[in-house]
Amino acid sequence: MGRLLLPALLVAAVPTAACASNSDALTIHCDGGRTFLAKISPDGVLVTIGRRTVALRPRDSSLGRRFEATGAALIIDGEMVALVLDNDIDFRNCQVNPPGSQLRNAG
């Protein structure tokens, strides 16, 4: 059941739209004041939450850009973002902030 929950949550959270480019540094804000930074490169993405950084590799996806690592998955589809990290599914209603926005309340 746990294996099915992660993909179902990610699919439900992400509408179709344009994707982030290959070299973006995005500040992501979610419900409850949760915030993280996603630095995208051709090799993958570095997700930073507070002092923790996780490297995720790109995966094929019909929903925007998908990145995965053990225990982590990130989908970026236009302004909408879905993140699951170590079974933490409290990153809800996440959106990309405009360029130049500040990272706040990380973690």
> 3-state class of 5 per DSSP?
helix
Spans of all domains in the chain: 2-96
Name which of 30, 43, 44 is nearest 79 in CA terms.
Answer: 30
How does pLDDT run across 13-41, given as a tens digit for each residue? Answer: 433 333 455 558 889 999 988 999 999 99
Name which of 10, 12, 16, 27 is nearest 77 in CA terms.
Answer: 16
pLDDT at 97 over 90: no
100 against 84, higher pLDDT: 84
pLDDT at 74 over 50: yes
- pLDDT the model gives residue 21: 52
Say how far apart CA 81 and CA 59 lie, in whole Å: 15
pLDDT averaged over every residue in the chain: 77
